Amino acid sequence: MFKNHLKKRFLGSIAGMCAAVAATAMLGAAPATAASSWWSDPNSCTNVATGTERTVNGRQVQIRYGTCGGSQYGWGRILNYGSSDYIRFEVSLGAGTVDYADIQPVNGRNYTEGYRTSSSSAVAFRACYVTTIVSTCNSGNATPWW
């Protein structure tokens, strides 16, 4: 009888761990809906235009936008860059705080992933030229918020 009790307790523990793992996996999957707001390769978009731009240390930093998969997205792009430069794209969902960012070394491509635009005035984008992967945008290296 004691052996059966231990077996049930062990199986119950395993079931509990499986449930916890499943719940964690479901919670971990939740950001995927936020990730669907991103477009991985804006080079495939159509009707592309420049929303705003700024020259920083001889580099032309831009916010670009276009139609990607039927929706409008915005992204950062840099021109006249050096081989060790980075382009950073920041997304604010309100109050001018950075909620999301993408940074790309320009030795791979000179543009970032795109983020879905919004009719809300709270959603804004800016792009900047940075020299390290941990650098952020500021008033000296970035486009205006767009």
Q: 67-118 pLDDT, tens per residue?
A: 999 999 999 999 999 999 999 999 999 977 899 999 999 988 999 999 999 9
**What does the mean pLDDT of the chain come to?**
81
Q: Is residue 70 helix, strand or coil?
A: coil
Q: Are the C-beta atoms of 103 and 130 separated by less than 8 Å?
A: yes
Q: Give the list of residues 6+ apart from residue 128 with CB closer than 8 angstroms, or none.
A: 56, 61, 76, 87, 88, 90, 136, 137, 138, 141, 142, 143
Which residue is it, tokens 């009719």?
119
Question: Could you tell me which residue, 83 or 15, shows the higher pLDDT?
Answer: 83
Q: Does residue 141 have a pLDDT over 50?
A: yes
